[in-house]
Amino acid sequence: MAVLAATDGVEAGVSTDLQLSFLNPAREGDVLDITSTCDRHGRMLAYTHSTIRVGEKIIARGSHTKYIGRKQGRHDAGSS
C-alpha cells in the first residue's frame, strides 16, 4: 500500500527483497498499530519499511524492495 500511494497508483510488480524481524510477542486482543512508509522510489524500484507496535512496544519491523517498472507494451508519449 505504501508503494501504491507513493507512486500515484503505478501498478507494482514483483518483490525483489523482503525482510521481517519479530521482536516481541503480541497477545490475543492486543491492538496493533502498523505504520508503513515508502522511503524512496525511482523508475524501477521502490523501498519501504514497516513497524508494528502494541502501545510503545515494537512487535515487528520489516523492509521491502519492490519492482515497479512499467508493464510491457507501455511507453511514454512521443516515444516509438
Asked if 3 contacts 38 with a C-beta cutoff of 8 angstroms, the reply is: yes
Using 50, 70 and 90 to split pLDDT, how confident is the model at 68?
A: confident
Give the least confident one: 7-11, 36-40, 68-72, 76-80.
Answer: 76-80
pLDDT in tens, 8-51: 655 657 899 999 999 999 999 999 999 999 999 998 999 999 99
Domain limits, the chain: 2-67
Burial environment of residue 13 by CB neighbours within 10 A (0 to 12, 13 to 18, 19 or more): middle
Domain spanning 2-67, CATH class? alpha beta
Cα–Cα distances in angstroms (integers) from residue 10 to residues 19, 35, 43, 59, in the given order: 23, 21, 10, 30
